[in-house]
Amino acid sequence: MKRTKINILLALEKTPGEIIIKGWVRTRRNSKEFCFMEINDGSCLKNIQIIANKDLENYSDIETITTGTSIAVEGRLVESPGKGQKWEIQVSKIEIINMAQDSYPLQKKRHSDEFLRTIAHLRPRTNKYGAVFRLRSEMAFAIHKFYKEKGFRYLTAPLITGSDAEGAGEMFRVTGLDPEKVKKQGKMDFKEDFFGQESNLTVSGQLSGEMFALALGDVYTFGPTFRAENSNTSRHAAEFWMLEPEMAFCDLKENMDHGEELVKYLTQHAINECHEDMNLFTSFVDKSLPKLFDILLNTEFGRISYTQAIEILLKSKQKFEFPVEYGTDLQSEHERFLAEIYFKKPVFLTDYPKEIKPFYMRMNDDEKTVAAVDLLVPRIGELIGGSQREERLSVLEKRMEEMNLPMEDYWWYLDSRKFGSAPHSGFGLGFERFLMMITGINNIRDVIPFPRTPGSIDF
């Protein structure tokens, strides 16, 4: 007989009779005649109760089963007289696969998130983190589903790159050079390196995305990106996942329409498909989540320019740690004020000063601002960053010169503006930030399986 997963069993209308389950013991309680256990196999939040009669031949072992033990259970699925559960299992046989040692750290019902981060290899066995990572898996699927339905192609952009997409210089170097040799030579000779030049881990798949959008039409990348920025905040990770749609013949407004549709779709998908896990977040993590979902699904997102945002911030009586000034990047406190307090809903900010944005953003007619867009959301701040791209070769070249970019390294990028260039737009959505938004979880470390942040790579 094959094992049945607990989520399947719990959804059954009538009993199939004999079944086998395999999973991990969450709790055990002995009475005179029976031993009761709650088993979880990770397929869903809920446990199933099993009842082992003392006639079982290995009952003396069963009585001593510890929390965390892996077992296989054969028995009959029967209606449970207990409250809050439809089914339970009358055991005919228990195989103890591996008895968990007494030092198993997940004995108590509740542990702090900080403690659980120190055992990131075990935390998916708790209710909360099981829910987080089932949701994460489902949302990755939802992204592919959304784009499949819209006729987009999935592009797997390279992770090792020779270019710095964002021009931000916060990249992890990839090298095969021998540190001893480098020390002796007193320098890194990249001509001798694996690729014969400097290479890095990607900070964004955008530039590849642009090339493919100008060939396949609408594309998206969804994969890991890496940033060596030393910002030890609850919203930054050194390795995070980014979704990047890139659309040919698309302007800034259509780009925003797309972003809004995407956020609404993903939120609705989470609510529909992860009902039980989402209930855990609304009950135990953030009770105001249903209100947020209502806003995300049923209101139109705000749309204002960067200039208007600065005016709102300057006029507000709010005390900020960082001063507000035209021409500087918004800090997360400013972004949150706008989304959380002023608009009380997600808001797109557009048309930023060119000085604080990368070279590829399309120059506006004022020649001072570019067709950038960020989506700011309550509690998180920036969820999406994107733009309409500069499709005019001469304008792009001028901008690159002003910014002292090595034009020869970008010859292939510039080619796209010579051979059938077209208006196009796209953005990047931080996958972890989206998960933080819909779970109420406040630290990015708690929505990534094994977080990588400054000074920390334990697993």
List interacting residues with ligand 4AD (CB under 6 A).
165-166, 204, 206, 227, 236-237, 240, 242, 244, 382-386, 426-428, 430, 432-433, 444
Nearer to ligand 4AD, 68 or 426 (CB): 426
Which pair of structure tokens corresponds to residue 230?
């030393």
Tokens in use for 313? Answer: 């911030």
CB of 68 or CB of 385, closer to Mg ion: 385
Q: E-assigned strands of 31-114?
A: 34-40, 48-53, 70-79, 87-98
Residue labelled with tokens 């960067």:
306
Which of 136, 236 has the CB closer to ligand 4AD? 236
Could you tell me the smallest distance in angstroms from the CB atom of residue 147 to ligand 4AD? 14
Which option in ligand 4AD, Mg ion, none does residue 337 bind, with CB closer than 5 to 8 A by kind?
Answer: none
* Contact flag: residue 75 with Mg ion (CB under 5 A): no
**H or E segment at 372?**
strand 369-377
Annotate 299-350 with three-state secondary structure: CCCEEEEHHHHHHHHHHCCCCCCCCCCCCCCCCHHHHHHHHHHHCCCCEEEE
CA distances from 426 to 251, 255, 379, 390, 423 (A): 9, 6, 24, 12, 11
Total residues contacting Mg ion by CB under 5 A comes to 1
The residue (of 142 and 361) whose beta carbon lies closer to Mg ion is 361
Residue closer to Mg ion by CB (options 23, 385) is 385
Q: Considering the complex, what minimum distance in angstroms separates the CB of residue 16 from ligand 4AD?
A: 45
- Describe the crossing of helices 127-149 and 252-273 by its angle, rounded to 10 degrees: 130
User: 209, 385, 423, 451: which one contacts Mg ion (CB under 5 A)?
Assistant: 385
Residue (385 or 451) nearer to Mg ion, CB = 385
User: Of 18-26, 81-89, 133-141, 377-385, which segment contacts Mg ion by CB under 5 A?
Assistant: 377-385
Give me the least distance between CB of 238 and ligand 4AD, in Å please: 7
**Least distance CB 301 / ligand 4AD (angstroms):** 15
- Taking the complex as a whole, the smallest distance from the CB of residue 304 to Mg ion amounts, in Å, to 17
The residue length of the chain stands at: 459
Containing 383, the helix (H) or strand (E) segment is strand 381-388
The alpha carbons of the chain give a radius of gyration, in whole angstroms, of 27
Residues that bind Mg ion (CB under 5 A): 385
